[in-house]
Structure 1
Amino acid sequence: MAARRPTIYDVAKAAGVSKSLVSLVLQDSPKVGDESRRAVQEAIAALGYRPSRAAANLAAGRTRVVGVLIDDFTNLWFVDMVRGLHAALGPGGYRLSVVDIATDDQAEDPVEQFLSMRVDGMVVGTDPPRALVGDGLPPIVVVGTREVPADGAGFDAVANDDAEGGRLVARHLVELGHRRLGHLAAGSGAGRARRAAFEAEARSLGARVVSTAGVMPVSDEAGYDGATALLAEDPGITALFAANDVLAVGALAAARDLGRDVPADLSVVGYDDTSLAAARLVGLTTVDDLSFEVGRRSGALLLDRMRGGAAAPSRVRLPPELTVRGTTAPVRGDS
């Protein structure tokens, strides 16, 4: 028979103190004197007692769980963002509970689910639902360019500067001599900001832009279909800018099937600088939107809020960087 695991009552008896005092020691309370603290710690070591983290957290009025609400697990941007969150929150003992509203089929609303779990904070990677407005909510950080309601102005927010990213792409392509550009658009807040800035900057520099209409899903199939349609509409297009890397990979496949050499006949640019873009077989020119850093900064803000930080809501916007690889080149002289 396995030996019985020591309990908090055993520790209290061995140390000659009350159970409540042992609880205070486990919570690292400053209310405990040095002699009593030392007696409890020695009893814990002698008995090999392992406190229940869940019980200790509940006793302290917290769960050490952060709810993360996203809207598309297939979007690789979330991978690095969540890694950044974990880098900031993991050392403090916080665990992440991630729900994708696009695939979650549970009857309970995900926001209510997090609230019933008594999460200590929330990170929202989608346009904030109406349920996130009101009293009794934990600290909230919105990640990425989102449509934040006016009554959600108390949220902290961290994003890359999507508009500047769109302008970086336009300047890069025009500097390479491209004047007939296509854009594979996305319907998210970030996608809309990238498109508007890209089109405005390109036109101000003397280039013509044709963009896909409607909201495109984030998939290589959508990128393939969108690129095929744009190149059929205007065969003179010499460069394509996709709203994200996944769409851009679909555009590369379309170019191959249409006999358009990349980058000799067609330059292609993505956005997000995901692991997919960096793969040697792809080597995609893209915009690094610092997704890991977005997650890390969001986690740091949330940690400060959960510890009682009372500063005014933060609006952090990180400057993107253009990463030039092998899918862009100067336009051919006969284009």
Structure 2
Amino acid sequence: MSPRRIRGSADRTPAPRSRKPTMADVAAEVGVSRALVSLVFRGQPGASAQTRARVFEAATRLGYKPDMAARLLARGRSKVLGVLFTPRNPYHVDLVEAVYPAAEELGYDLVLSAVVPSHDEHKAIEALVGHRSEALLLCGPNIADAEVASLGRRVPTVVIGRHLKDAGVDVVTSYDRPGAREVVDYLVGLGHRSIVHVDAGSRSGGPERRRAYRDAMRGHGLAPRVIPGNYCQEGGSEAARLLLSEDGPLPTAVFAANDQCALGLLDVFTRAGVKIPEQVSIVGYDDSHIAGLSHIDLTTVRQDVPRLARLAVQAADEQLRGVREAGQALKLESKLVVRGTSGPPPEA
């Protein structure tokens, strides 16, 4: 979609279409100096939040993108990639572990910044920028699309595990809808008819998995039921307690938003004496390292973490070398892994 052009005053003319817009064009559009625009794009102090927003908006309207290669040459290559992740999410931990060899192969070092209750995503991202990260790899970020797009205009950015459109950044993820459909098809094939989904709200991958679950259930002529949840163990625990408190029989299967959520379900159901999978089958998503442990043995959907990490690092490297423009979407297939937490329903 072409950016909407808004003129600030009659004497500011758009850059000629015969050449690429420059930083000077952006400065003229906003009515500030080129030096101030340079500070904004380098993420340096000296401009107010309002001015920064106006600079990025003007750059979008004019189609201007900073010359990353020139910027890196001018300041010297740091060869550092910044990685944003949530340490309580085992899938993110697996991704970080896989990013290391991929980065080392291309000659990059890593700087990690964790999202924890006292250190939100905004602080974590600014810490990465402050450590001279040449590019950012964001594992399942929850910041708004517009903020991701704004960040991508400041520094080459690759988003892992979240679906984005028209954000101007590279996206590396798995196809969530086929994976969720495969879960429902598998459970229905075992004979299940009462299948509940504990979702992840608006978090990365949550809407896609929820829609796919509903579509698959209706496709089989079954009534879907979604219980609000999240990607934490507490979300699964709360969903299990809710199901146990209700009158009537338990569902025969529960499809959890991810493996952490599934662990919460397993814990509460097991403590309540519910036999897994004899009474209730449980399926997770991600196939994080905890899923294959012998005492967990969780049926789940596997994402190819090593390949996702490798593609993300390669995407960042291509942006930095100026091989192509940002905005590419790279998606991989997922695969259902059947283990011990799923089986036929009690009546089958």
- Both proteins in one fold, TM over 0.5: yes
Instruction: State the secondary structure of the residue aligned to 1:278.
Output: coil
What is the correspondence of 1:188-227 to structure 2 with a 5 Å cutoff? 188-213=203-228, 216-227=229-240
Assess, with a 3 A threshold, how the Cα gap between structure 1 residues 170 and 158 changes in structure 2: closer, same or farther.
same
Alignment partner for residue 344 of structure 2, among 319, 330, 333?
A: 330
User: Among 135, 152, 160, which residue is 1:143 paired with?
Assistant: 160
2:79 counterpart (59, 64, 71):
64
- CA contact under 8 A between 1:145 and 1:162: conserved in structure 2? no
The Cα shift of 1:170 comes to 0.5
3-state secondary structure, aligned to 1:280: coil
Q: Secondary structure at the match of 2:269?
A: helix
Quote how far apart the aligned CAs of 1:235 are: 2.1
Cα offsets for 1:227-279 (capped at 9, x unmatched): 22124335241001111111111111222233221111111100110111100
**Structure with greater Cα Rg:** 1
Corresponding letter in the other structure for 1:302: A
Q: Could you tell me how far 1:139 is from its partner in structure 2?
A: 1.6
Matched residue, 1:184:
198
- Which of 126, 136, 142 is residue 112 of structure 1 equivalent to? 126
Query: Structure 2: how far apart are the matches of 1:180 and 1:106?
Result: 38
- Hey, what's the Cα distance between the residues in 2 that align with 1:195 and 1:174? 17
Q: 1:219-258 to 2 correspondence within 5 Å?
A: 219-233=232-246, 235-258=249-272
Structure 1 stretches of 4+ moved >4 Å: 57-60
Equivalent of residue 284 in structure 2, options 267, 270, 273: 270
Structure 2 residue runs of 5 or longer lacking an equivalent are 1-71
- Cα pair distance change 1:106/1:227, threshold 3 Å: closer
Q: Given that residues 141 and 155 in structure 1 are in contact (C-alpha distance below 8 angstroms), is that contact kept between their aligned partners in structure 2?
A: yes
1:154-193 map, 5 Å: 154-187=168-201, 188-193=203-208
CA distance in 1, matches of 2:133, 2:318: 15
CA distance in 1, matches of 2:170, 2:274: 45
Q: Tell me which moved more, 200-209 or 124-133.
A: 124-133
For 1:43, the equivalent position in structure 2 comes to: none
Q: Are 1:86 and 1:299, in contact at CA under 8 Å, matched by a contact in 2?
A: no
Q: How does 1:12-161 map to 2 (within 5 A)?
A: 61-70=76-85, 72-105=86-119, 109-125=123-139, 126-128=141-143, 130=147, 133=150, 137-147=154-164, 150=166, 152=167, 154-161=168-175
Shift of 1:101: 3.3
What TM-score do you get using the length of structure 1 for normalisation? 0.74
For residue 119 of structure 1, report the CA deviation from its aligned partner: 1.4
Asked if the contact 2:278–2:345 (Cα under 8 Å) also holds between the matched residues in 1, the reply is yes
CA contact (8 A) 1:268 1:284 kept: yes
Name the counterpart of 1:32. none
The answer to whether the 8 A contact 1:147-1:189 is kept is: no
Aligned-residue CA RMSD in angstroms? 2.6
SS in 2 for 1:275: coil
Letter in 2 for 1:196: R
- Give the drift of 1:160: 0.7
Q: 1:300 to 1:208 in 2, by over 3 A?
A: same
Partner of residue 53, structure 2: none
Quick one: which amino acid aligns to residue 102 of structure 2? A
How far apart are 1:221 and its partner, in Å?
A: 3.1
Q: Distance in 2 between matches of 1:318 and 1:327?
A: 25
**In 1, distance between residues paired with 2:121 and 2:226?**
38
Contact 2:112 2:128 in 1 (8 A): no
Residue 111 of structure 1, CA deviation: 3.4
Compared with structure 1, are the counterparts of its residues 316 and 172 closer, same or farther at alpha carbon in structure 2 (3 Å cutoff)? same
1:201 Cα deviation after fit: 0.3
Q: Distance in 1 between matches of 2:237 and 2:120?
A: 32
Where does structure 1 lack aligned partners over 5 or more consecutive residues? 1-56
CA shift at 1:219, angstroms? Answer: 3.0
Inter-partner Cα distance in structure 2 for 1:178 and 1:108? 43
C-alpha separation in 1, matches of 2:183 and 2:239: 19
The amino acid that maps onto 2:160 is V
